[in-house]
Homo-oligomer: A and B are copies of this chain.
């Protein structure tokens, strides 16, 4: 019997990861490339194609061993048609028919989707939210992306644009947001806002990793910093919990590693601010699959699409 694999790609603004997954979505091999080393969109697409081909070649595989390619992208994607609408953090991408372009180059089935949606599929199928029916899975980074599992399926919305948790308002007015609105959650807890707040609170060259280490070392000022972030996130989540009567919330991304304070504060805020039935129901978990969630989700996408 021919052994079959999936190639998964997780494209980020800084780098892209490429992995070989077996049919149980176990990662068998992995490479990382710098996204920024490619001068433009065409070169980046050629780089992705080259990464896939060299992966197959180096591991002495043939195309018949590969079920398909799954790709996660940091922006709005028409997953059904295989079109990338745009990428807020990678220049030059507008309405790119990535599926068609890559299938022509590589001669293998290609499936694409938004990265937060793929992370959600991964945490739901194999991670922290396994066994729960209604789940919000969010990732804290440059942006605050999220995906929703409702009644046991990924909820997409008509434009595959559901899940923009970072653009729920936290106040009627406040800091201006890249999306054109103001006071969006992302303007308070996106990485740029957090770094700005940390520099104001501590010193000019501090990193969020250092503030996390300080909190883990029980430094009061750092604990207070993460606590305040947790209250803001927890308040928006309370509203979502009231609206959707969720079973579980999974929090991933860099900031999720800041230590216990953030999670304690999110949980406490939900139990204080959400309605009693909803607050009692919902569990808050740290993401389990870490930096591999996007790759595993991309593999899940390939399996799901080839099944249907």
Q: Which residues of A contact B (CB under 8 A)?
A: 76, 85, 133-134, 146, 148, 150-151, 153, 155-165, 167-172, 179-182, 232, 235-236, 238-240, 242-247, 272-278, 281
Question: Which of B161, B170, B179, B239 lies in contact with A167, CB distance below 8 A?
Answer: B239
The answer on a CB contact under 8 Å between B278 and A245 is no
Q: Identify the closest chain B residue to A239 (Cβ).
A: B168
Query: Given the complex, which residues of B lie within 8 Å of A239, measured CB to CB?
Result: 167-169, 239
As for how many copies of this chain the complex holds, the number is 2
The answer on a CB contact under 8 Å between B242 and A167 is yes
- Assuming A167-B239, A169-B238, what are 4 further A-B pairs, CB within 8 angstroms? A157-B246, A159-B281, A162-B243, A239-B239
Query: Given the complex, which residues of B lie within 8 Å of A151, measured CB to CB?
Result: 150-151, 153, 155
Query: Given the complex, which residues of B lie within 8 Å of A164, measured CB to CB?
Result: 242-243, 275, 278
Question: Which of B156, B158, B243 lies in contact with A168, CB distance below 8 A?
Answer: B243
Question: Which of B167, B179, B247, B277 lies in contact with A85, CB distance below 8 A?
Answer: B277
Question: Which of B150, B158, B168 lies in contact with A245, CB distance below 8 A?
Answer: B158
Would A171 and B172 be within 8 Å (CB), given that A150-B155, A245-B157, A275-B179 are in contact? Answer: yes
Query: Given the complex, which residues of B lie within 8 Å of A236, measured CB to CB?
Result: 169
